Amino acid sequence: MTRLILASSSPYRKELLQRLHIEFECISPDINESSLENEQPGAYVQRLAVEKAVEIGKSHSDSLIIGSDQCCVNNNIILGKPRDRDNAIEQLSAASGQSIEFLTGVSIQHPQSGWHQEWMDTFTVKFRKLSLDEIERYLDTEQPFNCAGSFKSEKLGISLCQSMHGDDPTALIGLPLIKVAHCLREFGLQVP
Protein backbone atom coordinates (compact mmCIF):
# COMPACT_ATOMS: atom_id res chain seq x y z
CA MET A 1 0.00 0.00 0.00
CA THR A 2 1.31 3.45 -0.94
CA ARG A 3 2.25 5.66 1.98
CA LEU A 4 0.53 9.08 1.93
CA ILE A 5 2.39 12.13 3.26
CA LEU A 6 1.06 15.62 3.81
CA ALA A 7 4.04 17.94 3.34
CA SER A 8 2.90 20.42 5.93
CA SER A 9 3.03 21.47 9.56
CA SER A 10 -0.36 23.19 9.28
CA PRO A 11 -2.88 21.92 11.84
CA TYR A 12 -5.66 23.16 9.52
CA ARG A 13 -4.50 21.07 6.55
CA LYS A 14 -4.01 18.06 8.80
CA GLU A 15 -7.54 18.41 10.18
CA LEU A 16 -8.96 18.76 6.67
CA LEU A 17 -7.19 15.67 5.31
CA GLN A 18 -8.40 13.67 8.34
CA ARG A 19 -11.94 14.25 7.07
CA LEU A 20 -11.24 11.75 4.28
CA HIS A 21 -10.65 8.91 6.80
CA ILE A 22 -7.45 7.74 5.16
CA GLU A 23 -4.11 7.01 6.77
CA PHE A 24 -1.39 9.62 6.28
CA GLU A 25 1.44 11.26 8.11
CA CYS A 26 2.61 14.87 8.25
CA ILE A 27 6.18 15.83 7.54
CA SER A 28 7.12 19.49 7.50
CA PRO A 29 9.36 20.44 4.56
CA ASP A 30 12.31 22.74 5.18
CA ILE A 31 12.03 25.26 2.34
CA ASN A 32 12.39 29.02 1.96
CA GLU A 33 8.87 30.42 1.70
CA SER A 34 9.86 33.93 0.61
CA SER A 35 8.32 35.21 -2.59
CA LEU A 36 10.55 35.90 -5.57
CA GLU A 37 10.97 39.37 -7.01
CA ASN A 38 7.91 40.32 -9.13
CA GLU A 39 6.33 36.90 -8.49
CA GLN A 40 2.57 36.93 -8.93
CA PRO A 41 0.50 35.53 -6.02
CA GLY A 42 -0.83 32.53 -7.97
CA ALA A 43 2.64 31.59 -9.19
CA TYR A 44 3.94 32.00 -5.65
CA VAL A 45 1.53 29.54 -3.99
CA GLN A 46 1.86 27.05 -6.83
CA ARG A 47 5.66 27.16 -6.67
CA LEU A 48 5.65 26.61 -2.91
CA ALA A 49 3.19 23.71 -3.16
CA VAL A 50 5.49 22.00 -5.69
CA GLU A 51 8.65 22.76 -3.70
CA LYS A 52 7.13 21.30 -0.53
CA ALA A 53 6.18 18.06 -2.28
CA VAL A 54 9.54 17.82 -4.06
CA GLU A 55 11.48 18.39 -0.83
CA ILE A 56 9.68 15.58 0.99
CA GLY A 57 9.92 13.40 -2.13
CA LYS A 58 13.72 13.51 -1.98
CA SER A 59 13.68 11.17 1.02
CA HIS A 60 10.30 9.46 0.43
CA SER A 61 10.24 8.76 -3.32
CA ASP A 62 7.94 5.74 -2.99
CA SER A 63 5.25 7.80 -1.20
CA LEU A 64 2.38 9.86 -2.52
CA ILE A 65 3.00 13.41 -1.30
CA ILE A 66 0.61 16.34 -0.99
CA GLY A 67 2.16 19.80 -0.98
CA SER A 68 -0.01 22.85 -0.50
CA ASP A 69 0.36 26.54 0.17
CA GLN A 70 -2.06 29.40 0.54
CA CYS A 71 -1.95 33.15 0.43
CA CYS A 72 -4.47 35.89 0.85
CA VAL A 73 -4.46 38.68 -1.76
CA ASN A 74 -5.84 42.20 -1.36
CA ASN A 75 -5.41 44.42 -4.46
CA ASN A 76 -2.65 42.12 -5.78
CA ILE A 77 -0.72 42.41 -2.48
CA ILE A 78 0.01 39.15 -0.67
CA LEU A 79 -1.11 39.14 2.94
CA GLY A 80 0.69 36.54 4.98
CA LYS A 81 0.06 35.33 8.48
CA PRO A 82 -0.07 38.39 10.73
CA ARG A 83 1.84 36.79 13.63
CA ASP A 84 0.67 39.53 16.04
CA ARG A 85 -2.34 41.64 16.96
CA ASP A 86 -1.15 44.92 15.39
CA ASN A 87 -0.57 43.29 12.00
CA ALA A 88 -3.92 41.48 12.24
CA ILE A 89 -5.73 44.78 12.91
CA GLU A 90 -3.96 46.32 9.92
CA GLN A 91 -4.86 43.40 7.63
CA LEU A 92 -8.52 43.28 8.64
CA SER A 93 -8.90 47.06 8.49
CA ALA A 94 -7.57 46.97 4.92
CA ALA A 95 -9.96 44.09 4.09
CA SER A 96 -13.01 45.99 5.40
CA GLY A 97 -15.53 46.39 2.56
CA GLN A 98 -13.17 44.68 0.09
CA SER A 99 -13.20 41.45 -1.92
CA ILE A 100 -10.18 39.38 -0.93
CA GLU A 101 -8.90 36.33 -2.81
CA PHE A 102 -7.57 33.26 -1.06
CA LEU A 103 -5.31 31.32 -3.43
CA THR A 104 -4.41 27.72 -2.64
CA GLY A 105 -1.77 25.91 -4.65
CA VAL A 106 -1.70 22.10 -4.53
CA SER A 107 0.80 19.58 -5.85
CA ILE A 108 0.31 15.83 -5.43
CA GLN A 109 3.33 13.79 -6.50
CA HIS A 110 4.51 10.20 -6.56
CA PRO A 111 8.22 10.69 -7.35
CA GLN A 112 8.97 7.03 -8.04
CA SER A 113 6.44 6.74 -10.88
CA GLY A 114 6.48 10.37 -12.00
CA TRP A 115 2.70 10.68 -11.48
CA HIS A 116 1.65 14.17 -10.42
CA GLN A 117 -1.25 16.61 -10.36
CA GLU A 118 -0.98 20.35 -9.78
CA TRP A 119 -3.55 23.14 -9.62
CA MET A 120 -4.54 26.34 -7.92
CA ASP A 121 -7.91 27.00 -6.30
CA THR A 122 -9.33 30.52 -5.84
CA PHE A 123 -11.89 31.46 -3.21
CA THR A 124 -13.16 35.04 -2.90
CA VAL A 125 -14.42 36.57 0.32
CA LYS A 126 -16.28 39.88 0.33
CA PHE A 127 -15.82 41.45 3.75
CA ARG A 128 -18.51 43.70 5.14
CA LYS A 129 -17.53 47.12 6.52
CA LEU A 130 -15.77 46.41 9.81
CA SER A 131 -15.36 48.72 12.80
CA LEU A 132 -12.22 48.64 14.90
CA ASP A 133 -14.31 47.35 17.83
CA GLU A 134 -15.62 44.42 15.72
CA ILE A 135 -12.10 43.59 14.55
CA GLU A 136 -10.74 43.65 18.10
CA ARG A 137 -13.57 41.46 19.47
CA TYR A 138 -12.96 38.96 16.66
CA LEU A 139 -9.21 38.93 17.38
CA ASP A 140 -9.80 38.50 21.13
CA THR A 141 -12.04 35.51 20.47
CA GLU A 142 -10.24 33.75 17.59
CA GLN A 143 -6.62 34.92 17.79
CA PRO A 144 -6.10 34.08 14.08
CA PHE A 145 -2.45 35.14 14.11
CA ASN A 146 -1.35 32.00 12.22
CA CYS A 147 -4.00 32.39 9.49
CA ALA A 148 -3.45 34.04 6.10
CA GLY A 149 -4.96 37.52 6.14
CA SER A 150 -5.98 37.09 9.82
CA PHE A 151 -9.11 35.31 8.61
CA LYS A 152 -10.43 32.11 10.15
CA SER A 153 -13.69 31.23 8.40
CA GLU A 154 -14.38 28.06 10.37
CA LYS A 155 -15.59 29.93 13.43
CA LEU A 156 -16.38 33.57 14.26
CA GLY A 157 -14.61 34.83 11.13
CA ILE A 158 -17.71 33.97 9.12
CA SER A 159 -19.43 36.93 10.81
CA LEU A 160 -16.98 39.31 9.10
CA CYS A 161 -18.26 38.31 5.66
CA GLN A 162 -20.81 39.75 3.30
CA SER A 163 -20.46 36.90 0.79
CA MET A 164 -18.18 34.09 -0.36
CA HIS A 165 -17.57 32.61 -3.80
CA GLY A 166 -15.68 29.48 -4.74
CA ASP A 167 -16.08 25.87 -5.81
CA ASP A 168 -14.77 24.21 -2.65
CA PRO A 169 -15.20 25.73 0.83
CA THR A 170 -12.32 23.65 2.18
CA ALA A 171 -9.98 25.55 -0.15
CA LEU A 172 -10.59 28.61 2.01
CA ILE A 173 -9.21 26.71 5.02
CA GLY A 174 -6.12 25.59 3.10
CA LEU A 175 -6.69 22.29 1.25
CA PRO A 176 -9.39 21.85 -1.45
CA LEU A 177 -10.64 18.39 -0.51
CA ILE A 178 -13.01 17.87 -3.45
CA LYS A 179 -10.18 17.78 -5.97
CA VAL A 180 -7.67 16.24 -3.55
CA ALA A 181 -10.04 13.30 -3.00
CA HIS A 182 -10.56 12.98 -6.77
CA CYS A 183 -6.80 12.91 -7.40
CA LEU A 184 -6.16 10.37 -4.65
CA ARG A 185 -8.82 8.08 -6.16
CA GLU A 186 -7.32 8.63 -9.62
CA PHE A 187 -3.92 7.51 -8.26
CA GLY A 188 -5.56 4.38 -6.85
CA LEU A 189 -6.13 5.09 -3.17
CA GLN A 190 -9.44 4.08 -1.66
CA VAL A 191 -11.16 7.30 -0.63
CA PRO A 192 -14.85 7.29 0.34
CB distance 100 to 83 below 8 Å: no
How far is residue 36 CA from its own chain's centroid? 19
Q: How confident is the model at residue 48 (pLDDT cuts 50, 70, 90)?
A: very high
Quote the pLDDT of residue 192: 83
Q: How confident is the model at residue 184 (pLDDT cuts 50, 70, 90)?
A: very high
Catalytic residue list = 69
Mean pLDDT in residue range 32-38: 90
Quote the pLDDT of residue 24: 97
Q: Has residue 44 got a pLDDT over 80? A: yes
Quote the pLDDT of residue 79: 87
Mean pLDDT in residue range 36-57: 95
CA–CA dist 146, 109 (Å, integer): 27
CA–CA dist 4, 30 (Å, integer): 18
Average pLDDT of the chain, as a whole number: 95
**Nearest partner of 45 among 53, 61, 33, judged by Cα:** 33
143-172 tens-digit pLDDT: 999 888 999 888 899 999 999 999 999 999
CA–CA dist 127, 96 (Å, integer): 6
| Domains of the chain and CATH, by start | 4-187 (3.90.950.10)
Quote the pLDDT of residue 121: 95
Quote the pLDDT of residue 148: 87
Mean pLDDT in residue range 91-110: 96
Mean pLDDT in residue range 68-75: 93
Quote the pLDDT of residue 1: 77
Mean pLDDT in residue range 18-25: 96
Q: Has residue 65 got a pLDDT over 90? A: yes
Quote the pLDDT of residue 154: 86
**Three-class SS state of 60:** coil
